[in-house]
Every structure is written in C-alpha cells, then in structure tokens.
Chains A and B, each alone.
Chain A
Amino acid sequence: GQNIDQPTEMTATEGAIVQINCTYQTSGFNGLFWYQQHAGEAPTFLSYNVLDGLEEKGRFSSFLSRSKGYSYLLLKELQMKDSASYLCAVLYNTDKLIFGTGTRLQVFP
C-alpha cells in the first residue's frame, strides 16, 4: 500500500509555531506536497519537496527526508486564519497523488 500518516488534529495559540509531521512509504516516491484546505473549500497548494532539506516560503516551511520517508510542515507566527486542514500528499510514479487524511489545525487566540 501507500499509506500516508499524519496526526488527525492539532491545536496551537496565535503567534506560536506548530510542526505537522507526515510519514509515507518510500517505494515509488516522486515528490511530496502540502496543501491547505479550509472547511468547505478546495485544497490550495502550499509547498513541494522532491529533494532532501528545508524549503522556506514566508511563514511556512516544509522539510523532507527521503531516506526516512518523513516530512514536516512548519507554520510560524500563527494567525487565526491558519485554522484549516493541512494535507500531506505524495506523488507516486508520476501518476498518482496520494493524500493523507489531513491534520485539522485549530488556532486559538
């Protein structure tokens, strides 16, 4: 199978930092994506990693370790609008983008 595991729910305080982890099966790996999805809306692209290391984009950063089958999404200076589901998705063999179940993040004031 191509199971992708991420925590179901997380909570954090406005202004804080939160790290959302994702583990996946490495066979056939061809890239990892993070998407943000607000309730009732379509997913929107956040980041893409295909090589090991950290990709920084404003308040959001994403890390990948291909050998460990591990990624995380780091959100800094949390804002209330960051309350959403965060989806980890892995591209396998160029034709299947497999999503995890998503991590529902709630940011409190």
Chain B
Amino acid sequence: DAGVTQSPTHLIKTRGQQVTLRCSPISGHKSVSWYQQVLGQGPQFIFQYYEKEERGRGNFPDRFSARQFPNYSSELNVNALLLGDSALYLCASSLLQGTTTGELFFGEGSRLTVL
C-alpha cells in the first residue's frame, strides 16, 4: 500500500511568489494535517482537515491556506512568500479526526527554499 505522498519533494521560489504543495493521504484516511518544520525545530501545526472541512488551525498568517478535496487529497497554498517560509512542509494523514490510535502517518515532506 502506498503511504502518504507529497509533491513536489523540493522547490525553490523567490520572495513574493506563491506556492502550492500537494498531499495524498493513505487510502481510506480521511484526515490530513499540515506541519511546517524549520531546520533544528519540531514540526509546527498549520492546519487539519477532516471530511473536507477545516477542523484546526495553528498560529500562521492568512497567507497560508489549504483545502481538502472529495478524494481526501489536500493542497497547502502559501502566498507572498517570505524568506522565513523556507522549511520542510510535512503532511500527515490519519483515519479519524482524533488520532485515538496514535497512528499519524507522515509523508516525506516538501522542502521549500525561498530566495
């Protein structure tokens, strides 16, 4: 079975540009969460989506937005990129909204570099 897949794996943008990152959850998983991980830090929660609705949001500016599609895949959009947005963006999927089993599966991430 395929795990969580993310694309692109690496990308370089310049300040002010916009980026879209994509995530496909494990088949059957309905919850997708996005995290930003800056080098040397733990992942920071950005969004959680369950059944195509936003169910949680972290402390990120409105430049960050996301959506979940009927097939449960998800996109993360970041507008007006800043140098500080350079990070590894992780997508995680789980079967339920509340991860009562602890089974939160991460993709390999999309590494964004903003120049």
Residue pair B42, A87 in contact (C-beta under 8 Å): yes
Task: Name the A residues within 8 Å of B41 (CB-CB).
Answer: 101-102
Residues of chain B with a CB closer than 8 A to A30's CB: 98
The answer to whether residues A43 and B56 also contact, given A31-B102, A94-B98, A97-B45 and a CB cut-off of 8 A, is: no
Instruction: Please report which residues of chain A, range 79-109, place their CB below 8 angstroms from some CB of chain B when the two chains form the complex.
Output: 87, 89, 91, 94-102
Q: How large is the interface on A (under 10, 10 to 19, 20 to 34, 35 or more residues)?
A: 20 to 34
Does B32 belong to the interface (CB within 8 Å)? Answer: no
Stretch at the interface among B66-74, B77-85, B104-112: B104-112
Give the residue of B35, B40, B55, B109 whose beta carbon is less than 8 angstroms from that of A95: B55
Within 8 Å of chain B (Cβ to Cβ): is A25?
A: no
- In the bound complex, what is the Cα–Cα distance between A69 and B55 (angstroms)? 25
Residues of chain A in range 25-48 having any CB-CB distance to chain B below 8 Å: 30-31, 33, 41-45, 47-48
Q: Does B44 contact A (CB under 8 A)?
A: yes
What does the 1/0 interface line of A1-45 toward B look like (CB < 8 Å)? 000100000000000000000000000001101000000011111
Residues of A within 8 A of B (CB): 4, 30-31, 33, 41-45, 47-48, 50, 87, 89, 91, 94-102
